């Protein structure tokens, strides 16, 4: 009897640990690693559904660190156009606090590659962001974004890519 109870307790503990470890993973996290993927999509601004065969991108990013390390590839964008990858902190105009992550120009085929390591100096979502569960990451036209104020200056929603999930990032200088 004691052996059966012991096995039952052990099985319950194993299941509990397995459930906790899987539910604590960040969206897009690579197993137990410090990296995650986030997909961005062109969306219909009427109902925010993903546009079939629309532009899209994939962001690989670190979850914790002294700098936000990232690698982004976008496809199907307007050719030869300047874009900015931003953290959009709600509400409008996105500077709550918001941040520029990277910027660059799409090639003749409408593809863009951005990569780097940015000192955001804060967690994502940041203080003041009304999305307390996570941060919005967008790819926007550089002409619609003021990097000096971290603010959107125009609204052309059909020209942007939007996150499919909110992300979190822990600014940690001890890593």
**What pLDDT sits at residue 20?**
39
**What pLDDT sits at residue 32?**
73
Please check whether residues 13 and 68 belong to one and the same domain: no
CATH number at residue 138: 2.60.40
Q: In what order do the strands lie in the sheet with 112-118?
A: 99-105, 82-88, 136-141, 161-163, 35-41, 56-62, 68-75, 112-118
Please check whether residues 55 and 2 belong to one and the same domain: no
How many whole angstroms separate alpha carbon 47 and alpha carbon 35? Answer: 30
Please check whether residues 95 and 10 belong to one and the same domain: no
Coil/strand/helix, residue 3: helix
Please check whether residues 54 and 15 belong to one and the same domain: no
Largest CA distance in the chain: 73
**What pLDDT sits at residue 25?**
56
Closest CA to 40 of 124, 158, 162, 144: 162
Please check whether residues 16 and 91 belong to one and the same domain: no
Whole-structure pTM value: 0.83
**What pLDDT sits at residue 173?**
85
Helix, strand, coil % in the chain, rounded to nearest 5: 15, 40, 45
Please check whether residues 20 and 85 belong to one and the same domain: no
Contact 86, 135 (CB under 8 A): no
Please check whether residues 23 and 45 belong to one and the same domain: no
Please check whether residues 24 and 63 belong to one and the same domain: no
Task: Specify the number of domains making up the chain.
Answer: 2
DSSP notation for 149-172? TTEE----GGG-EEESS-B-BEE-
Please check whether residues 38 and 10 belong to one and the same domain: no
Please check whether residues 47 and 105 belong to one and the same domain: yes
pLDDT along the chain (175 residues), means of 10: 50 44 57 90 98 98 97 99 98 96 99 98 96 97 98 98 98 82
Residue 10 domain boundaries: 1-29
């Amino acid at each position: 009897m004691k052996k059966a109870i012991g096995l039952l307790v052990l099985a319950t503990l194993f299941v509990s640990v397995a459930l906790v470890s899987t539910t604590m993973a960040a969206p897009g996290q690579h197993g137990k690693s410090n990296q995650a993927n986030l997909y961005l999509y062109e969306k219909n601004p009427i109902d925010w559904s993903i546009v079939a065969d629309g532009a899209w991108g994939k962001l690989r990013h670190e979850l914790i660190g002294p700098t936000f390390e990232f690698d982004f590839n976008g496809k199907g964008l307007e050719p030869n156009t300047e874009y900015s990858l931003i953290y959009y902190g709600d509400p409008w105009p996105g500077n709550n606090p918001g941040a520029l992550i990277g910027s660059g120009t799409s090639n003749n085929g409408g593809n863009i590659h951005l990569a780097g390591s940015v000192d955001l100096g804060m967690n994502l979502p940041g203080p003041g962001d009304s999305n307390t569960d996570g941060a919005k990451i967008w790819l926007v036209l550089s002409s619609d974004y003021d990097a000096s104020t971290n603010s959107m200056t125009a609204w052309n929603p059909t020209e942007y890519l939007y996150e499919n999930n909110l992300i979190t990032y822990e600014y940690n200088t001890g890593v």
